[in-house]
Amino acid sequence: MGKKVAVQGMTLEIVNGLPSPVEGTITILGSPSLYGKADRKGIYLDGLSISISNITSKTAPTPATIPDPVPKTSSINASSQAMRCDNGKKALRVNDTSSSISATPLIPGSPPVPYPVTFQVKITDANQNVVDAK
């Protein structure tokens, strides 16, 4: 059985924060397919561009609550092998994840102390329960 195909309204979360959990604001920069649909919603495709801003690590040993001033960009690559649309692009599915992203929020102080972190962005909910893909 396959995993649910990700469509408009899907949920993205920041995961695998190191050395401590990471928080931030995720913005989808790409558009879903105009042609490929699941549950009447556009399917997101391989290489979806995202931006992450306001990156902090509030649960660090000493919280890094001053956000990294530079938004980070990345993309989510599809793991689907069977479902393709829009000139052969693979469909994104639940659990597809970005590559590792690096940021440097700051620990408040005089001067503030850099706190380098890495993390990924993962699709955690497809926003539809109709179409699976392998």
pLDDT tens, position by position, 11-38: 999 999 999 999 999 999 999 998 889 9
The pLDDT of residue 1: 64
The pLDDT of residue 118: 97
Give the total number of structural domains in the chain. 1
Count of residues in the chain: 134
How many Cβ atoms from other residues are within 10 Å of residue 85's Cβ?
17
**Containing structural domain, residue 9:** 3-133
The pLDDT of residue 134: 85
Q: pTM for this one? A: 0.93
